[in-house]
Homo-oligomer: A and B are copies of this chain.
Amino acid sequence: MVDTLPTVGFIGLGVMGRPMARRVLAAGFPLVVHNRSRAPVDVLVEAGAEAAASPAEVARRAGIVITMVPDTPDVERVVAGPAGIFEGIRPGSVIVDMSTIAPSVARRLAGEAQARGAAMLDAPVSGGEIGAIEGTLSIMVGGDGAALERVRPVLEAMGRKDRIVHIGPSGAGQLAKACNQLVLAATLGGVSEAFALARKAGVDPARVREALLGGFAYSRVLEVHGQRMLDRQYVPGFRAALFDKDLRIASATLAEHHVPAPVSAAAQQLVGAMMAAGEGQDDYSAVARVVFRLAGLDA
C-alpha cells in the first residue's frame, strides 16, 4: 500500500516545517526534503526521508512539492529563483505553498506555475507548533479545486480533516490567513487592555478572565493566551517577529483593497512596539506587556 502513495517533496524545515514533514513521512508518503541549512535535513533523513540538493531537485523527484518558509521573498526565491522549483517542475505536478505570504504574490506564482503545466495552491496554516506536531493544523486553501483533491491526503497528514477549507481561487487562502491574523491581533489587543485595566484598578485579572470565559467575550485568545498573560509565560509558541511579518502582509493587503481597519491597525502598532523593544523572539501574546508598560504597570 505504502509504495502506491505519491512522492512528496518538502522544502523548509523550520519550527513548523520539521514537524509537518515528519507527519507526512509518518503517513507513509515517500519524502524528499530540502533546507538551506543541513542539520534538520539529516534528522529527517534518519527518519526515512531522502535529501535533495536544491528546490529544483525536489521538484524533479516529487509530483507534490510543499514549501514552508518564513516570508514572501523566501517563497519567491525557492519557487522562481535560481535552482528553484520552477527549474525542475514537471507538468502535472502540484506545488503547495503553506507559508504565510502576500496574496498577490501567491496569485502571480500560481499563474507562472500554470504556464509551466503545473498547479500551485496557497495553503497557509493556523495552529502553531503544537498544531504542527499533533497534525491538527487549520489549512486555508486557495487555488484549483482538482489540484486540492489530489493533495488532500497529504494535507490530511498535517491538518484536521474538518479544518482543511477550500476558501476560493488562488490567493484566497492567503487572504483568509490575513483575516485570521487581523482577528487575532484585535482580540489580543482587547484582552491585553482589559487585563491592564483590571490590574490597574486592583482587580484580579484571573477572576476577570474566568468570568469572561463564560460569556460572549469568550475566545481562544482569552482562554489560551490570556492564561499566558497571567502566568507571564511568553516562551513561543508563535514568535512575535513572525506575527509582525504577517500583520505587515495583512495591512498591505488592506491598503491594496482600500479597506480602512482602525481596530486591527491599532493592534498592529502594539505588535510593532514589541519589535521596537527587541522582543520579537517572545510569543506574540507578550503584546500584553506593551499594554501593561503603557499603563505604568510591571510588565
A residues contacting the other copy or chain, number (CB 8 A): 78
Q: Whose C-beta in chain B lies nearest to the C-beta of A162?
A: B214
| Residues 185-209 of chain A, each 1 if its beta carbon lies under 8 Å from chain B, else 0 | 1110111111111101111100110
Report the copy number of this chain in the oligomer.
Answer: 2
Q: Whose C-beta in chain B lies nearest to the C-beta of A211?
A: B165
Main secondary structure of the interface of A (DSSP, over half): helix
The smallest beta-carbon distance between A206 and chain B, in angstroms, is: 10
Contact of A196 among B160, B166, B259, B295 (CB under 8 A): B259
User: Chain B residues near A131 (CB, 8 Å)?
Assistant: 215
Known A-B contacts A175-B198, A266-B263, A270-B263; A165 and B210 likewise in contact (beta carbons under 8 Å): yes
The smallest beta-carbon distance between A44 and chain B, in angstroms, is: 26
Q: Let me know if A126 and B217 touch, CB within 8 A.
A: yes
The smallest beta-carbon distance between A9 and chain B, in angstroms, is: 25
Q: Let me know if B207 and A216 touch, CB within 8 A.
A: no
User: Chain B residues near A162 (CB, 8 Å)?
Assistant: 214
Within 8 A of B (CB), among A212-270: 212, 214-222, 224-225, 250, 253-254, 257-267, 269-270
Q: Let me know if B259 and A200 touch, CB within 8 A.
A: yes
- CB-defined A-B contacts under 8 Å, sample of 19: A126-B214, A127-B216, A128-B216, A167-B204, A167-B211, A178-B194, A179-B208, A180-B215, A180-B217, A182-B193, A183-B190, A183-B191, A189-B264, A193-B263, A200-B259, A258-B296, A262-B269, A262-B270, A263-B266
